[in-house]
Chain A
Amino acid sequence: MNEQIILGIETSCDETAAAIVKNGKEIIANVVASQIESHKRFGGVVPEVASRHHVENITIVVEEAMQQASMSWKDIDAIAVTEGPGLVGALLVGVNAAKAIAFAHQKPLIGVHHIAGHIYANRLEKEFEFPLLALIVSGGHTELVLMKAHGQYERIGETLDDAAGEAYDKVARILELPYPGGPQIDHLAKETVPGIDFPRAWLGAESFDFSFSGLKSSVINYVHNQEQRGEVVDKSNIAASFQASVVDVLVEKTYQAAKKYGVKQVIVAGGVAANQALRQQIQQRFAPSNIPVQIPPLKLCTDNASMIAAAGSIQYEQQQFADWALNGNPSKLLTSVHSDLST
């Protein structure tokens, strides 16, 4: 088999990342410069600040990846970069850097969808088995994607309002937890069993869509009422109950979809895949079935460039290359394939 080495670059949000991946499956180098410390003081990611940090770090991060891999340009077969979705100013840094490298050494250029990257993070652990169902949960996305082959994505469900990670961030803010809020809620939730019956948005038995805005409002009302009554806000109980509501819906819908489409593998991807409650509960739910659930290790759940190189690897095989006009695309859609998916 021909060896294939892809350099990946990811700058869609607040991580400047570069990685080198062999054959779409093996990480040779993985470098992430996180900006979390800088954005903490603002209580969230500030796009202009993120873009500025990306320019400062981009060549340093790519150089580090090349050094980690002990590789020179002749070893690299193609440059893959996150094209979108994401923060436009942030995306532009990665895209223009990738074009510059590809141009300097006349290498093929590949534009990768960020979510395809999150999905392909799993292939760095275990080869895919199709049909495959991917639950993608992050600050910007909550969706269920069905894949019948490499590079083919059919979205069967998505959030109608907030992404799961967004709901976590908002609830964390209500509970006055430090940024980033998701891990804080996950941590607090461990201290107690959920005692508040927050709503779960099922949206009908056949629906694989999600909705978290009602849940968010319930949490706001609950906290507000407690404050008005002069009670101490029971943060861990609220965190645990909120999390139970989110995870119940995510897990059950994934399970029902997996059954309906007869998938051979379920994968969980995106930043919220790092959530301990989700990791445990989804494994428990699927344990009696024969469907294996794959969740990437924590360092591959958050944004990184290995996943971009891994997804780019498939595009390399399928000869899907970009030209020099490649641009950042903040609202890029995951290309859907319409096939005969009637059960």
Chain B
Amino acid sequence: MAAPVSAAWAAVAIVGVATIAIKSSGVMLVHGRQLPARLESMIALLAPAMLAALVVTNTFGGDHRLVLDPRAAGVAAAAVPVALRAPLLVTVITAAATAALVRAI
């Protein structure tokens, strides 16, 4: 079923403006201000917390459920180059090749 073209353009405009506003708000709110030390140490922890959440949602995330599919095999295989501190390229290719292989079987 096709959506009306006008709805598509409305979505392009609304989501585009909202996304640009969201991305701009973060850098405008904080810039050039001396933040309280506690807030700074919390913002510093955003990277490990968000990266772990990105790993989880990109590996197991499904439509309102957790799924175990070839992505998990790819990430598990990538743990080896990660542990060996191999270059990112090796890690990414290991994950993709493993997931492709498991999916083909």
Instruction: Say whether A associates with B.
Output: no
Q: List residues of chain A with CB under 8 Å of any chain B CB.
A: none
Query: Measuring CB to CB, which residues of chain B are less than 8 angstroms from any residue of chain A?
Result: none
